[in-house]
Structure 1
């Protein structure tokens, strides 16, 4: 493993990294027992230190990291300021700790090594997330992104082999392999213009057909495996991120304001984002929350189950489609983004337990809109019917008072439901 303390963060401190600071400060608190409790991009939105089960300790650590990012604090000063506080609160050394399930184990709490990991990992991840946001906002000028590895004795061989390779900014590879890609990863990404690509004699590659899904062990104690996405480097070698790193920390937190982009560009971006790990994790987190709630509350009605699962949900949402200008006009909105909220997804998974809509189907919402056989307008709703094989699906979008578009429901439907919708609404397409 690369030495965290050797990470070159000098470039992060040449300016006050406003975007990186904004990113870090926008993280919510989440207290977890193990780092993989907030697996991958969930961690991008909730600052977490494994085993920091006391909110005051978590606040101390967060405050120290926040100051390091904003002020360019060196690790020496970071350790000097934080270690005495953690020692005084008993969060230091090896101790017997009981987890939320009543299981006792000896754990390593604070240590110099852990502080180095916390310091290096959070600063590197935060800086790269802020950098990603700025790069996305400048894709019209610099649409080509080049992977840059630090080429020295501590560089992993696979990371070195991805060095200087170029992909378009919207290539799916950046959803999984935007650095950092492991503990101690010092890689970064450089944005290039078309002229720079030509002058340097670079080849713009595509990850199409080269991304490989596999499972990585994240807990020796439980044997838990989590999916990761690797890249075929050629010659039988695979670039594989570390367990818990197969995501884009910037994309997981930041969503560009797609209403500032043409419909075609916004649609292409969303289709790429929905096909990647961030949306899969979004879906699976809600699916796990629903299943866990059902397990401890057998026999509850769907309405009561939804109330029971509510504490496990947040106000998080994800864009799943882009609406064409003519349909924006029909819905009287200025936005092209169609959003899916956590509570709606949970409601769908609970209410449709007998015939659940799969992750793959939710990834087809843009396809459902584009290829609808019927489009019906009713009040503030827009209903789409489409067929997938021999199954009829019904998608309902709703305009909220602030002028946003949210998915209300998406599920298999019967022909009779379609006829009833056509009868009571204004038919914009189909209706036969």
Structure 2
């Protein structure tokens, strides 16, 4: 019987993903505070809120990944540092959501093992996914590979040898790791390799098993999620793809930081024309760079950011409140930012508008973070001339760019 040839990747892709996640360190109280794809887009550790340990844990993980260190090395070096900062053992800590004191497990050898395994698996999954995308023309299929022993979940064993195209929507949810301590992986295959596996007697599946969905309530947010049996809550997404996209977005941001403004539009436009952006609009996960920021806007808004970001949260709101906006509209955002008809500020928001030939306006609202390090699109819709006149009549409006015909 054929066995999967899971050749370890050079860690460059995995390292790139972990470093990109480390750009956003977000202390949390409970793991449910940052759900599913948020974990792959940032770095967080539950119960780290209120303790100055998140950077230390990230640094130790980064060192372990880059130097090929083991869990034992990671824990041995990190434990005394965490103990010295008081993040160890069971303690009473304040829940920022309720203000109440609660007993909680902080650092322990078992927790460090969970942190190490989860982050390493997500980083390597993202590294593999970047490789799948680069090579999908030659190797257009993915094979689900489970470890067939008594430690593997039955639902994961049922999916062993499932073969589907790289872009199949089934991988939106069933992409390993599919839970805590999940050891399953994905393997890319060419058509020739599929034929070879079948010739060797491997029983491949080309139709995914039916999912049994169970409702799970996030007690921190009240959100209800329908999760397939066999996937742990918080793992019902594709951690590899989200992580790989985070690394791509980070690389784009770094290029944008040193690029002349006239090069920002084609740089961002290439990203929003991608299949990854189309998937993001249809099923928001993570975030996407979408709109170059004119120097005059950045100066007025007090931000050094060169490109505005569209978050999954805002994209979900857009789908709910403005279903009339099409993929073509969202793919126009780079041009809107680079060549606006009208830009003005009111309060803490900046409004960027482009007038179309049919008399309507495409209207983008954006805000910067308190630190000024990032800017985010907060709304995108169509507006009429009357809407624009009303916006300009608001008190305290400051026009930054005006290219309207006089």
Partners of 1:364 and 1:145 in 2: CA distance: 33
Alpha-carbon distance, 1:104 to partner:
0.4
3-state SS, counterpart of residue 29 of structure 1: coil
**2:143/2:186 contact within 8 Å kept:** yes
The count of residues paired between Structure 1 and Structure 2 equals 322
Counterpart selection for 1:250 from 236, 240, 247: 240
- Listed as ranges, the matches of 1:45-84 within 5 Å are 45-54=41-50, 56-84=52-80
The alpha carbon displacement at 1:412 in A equals 6.4
Quote the residue 1:38 is aligned against: 34
CA gap 1:45/1:191 in 2 versus in 1, 3 angstroms: same
* Structure 2 runs not aligned, ≥5 long: 1-5, 199-203, 253-265, 292-306, 332-338, 343-352, 366-375, 389-402
Structure 2 SS opposite 1:216:
strand
Please name the residue that 2:225 is paired with: 227
2:160 alignment counterpart? 163
Using a 3 Å threshold, how does the CA distance of structure 1 residues 143 and 165 change in structure 2: closer, same or farther?
same
Cα distance change on mapping 1:266 and 1:358 into 2, 3 Å: closer
Deviates more, 1:191-200 or 1:159-168: 191-200
Paired with 2:49 and 2:91, the residues of 1 have a C-alpha distance of 13
SS of the aligned residue for 2:147 comes to coil
Matches within 5 A, 1:185-200: 185-200=182-197
Partner of 2:283: 276
Aligned ranges 1:21-420 → 2 under 5 Å = 21-27=15-21, 28-54=24-50, 56-100=52-96, 101-201=98-198, 202=204, 204-205=206-207, 215-219=215-219, 224-230=222-228, 239-255=229-245, 268-276=275-283, 278=285, 316-317=287-288, 341-342=310-311, 345=314, 357-359=318-320, 361-362=322-323, 365-366=326-327, 395=362, 410-411=380-381
Secondary structure of 2:143 counterpart: strand
**Cα distance in 1 for residues equivalent to 2:89 and 2:146:** 34
CA shift for structure 1 position 246: 1.1
Give per-residue Cα distances to partners, 1:34-82, cap 9 Å, x unaligned: 1111111111122111111245311221122112211222222222212
Deviation at 1:273, TM superposition (A): 3.7
Instruction: Provide the aligned C-alpha RMSD in A.
Output: 4.5
Flag the 1:133–1:363 CA change in 2: closer, same or farther, 3 A.
farther
Query: By how many angstroms is 1:226 displaced?
Result: 4.0
What is the CA–CA distance in structure 2 between the aligned matches of 1:159 and 1:361, rounded to whole Å? 38
**Deviation digits for residues 237-264 of structure 1, max 9, x if unmatched?**
xx4421111112232233369999xx9x
- Evaluate the alpha carbon distance shift between residue 180 and residue 363 of structure 1 in structure 2; reply closer, same or farther with a 3 A threshold: farther
Partner residue, 1:18 = 12
- The alpha carbon displacement at 1:140 in A equals 1.2
1:162-181 Cα distance to aligned partner (Å, 9 max, x none):
11101111111222221111
The alpha-carbon deviation at position 359 of structure 1 amounts to 3.1
The CA distance in 1 between the partners of 2:290 and 2:39, in whole Å, is 19
Return the TM-score normalized by structure 1.
Answer: 0.61
Match of 2:370 in 1: none
Other structure's SS at 2:178 match: coil
* Inter-partner Cα distance in structure 2 for 1:369 and 1:53: 36
Change (3 A) 1:130 1:86: same
Q: Kindly indicate whether the alpha-carbon contact (under 8 Å) linking 1:181 and 1:246 is maintained by their aligned counterparts in 2.
A: yes
Q: Is the 8 A contact 1:165 1:205 kept in 2?
A: yes
Instruction: Provide the rounded CA distance (Å) in 2 between the counterparts of 1:383 and 1:173.
Output: 40
C-alpha displacement at 1:155, in angstroms? 0.2
Tell me the CA shift for residue 114 of structure 1. 0.8
Task: Give secondary structure in 2 for the equivalent of 1:68.
Answer: helix
Q: CA deviation at 1:111?
A: 1.2
Contact 1:52 1:58 in 2 (8 A): yes
Deviation at 1:106?
0.8
Taking structure 2 as the reference length, the TM-score comes to: 0.64
Seen in structure 2, the aligned counterparts of structure 1 residues 240 and 383 have a Cα distance that, compared at 3 Å, is farther
Question: Relative to structure 1, is the Cα distance of residues 74 and 342 closer, same or farther in structure 2, using a 3 angstrom cutoff?
Answer: closer
For residues 61 and 276 of structure 1, what CA distance do their matches in structure 2 show?
Answer: 31
CA distance in 1, matches of 2:206, 2:274: 22
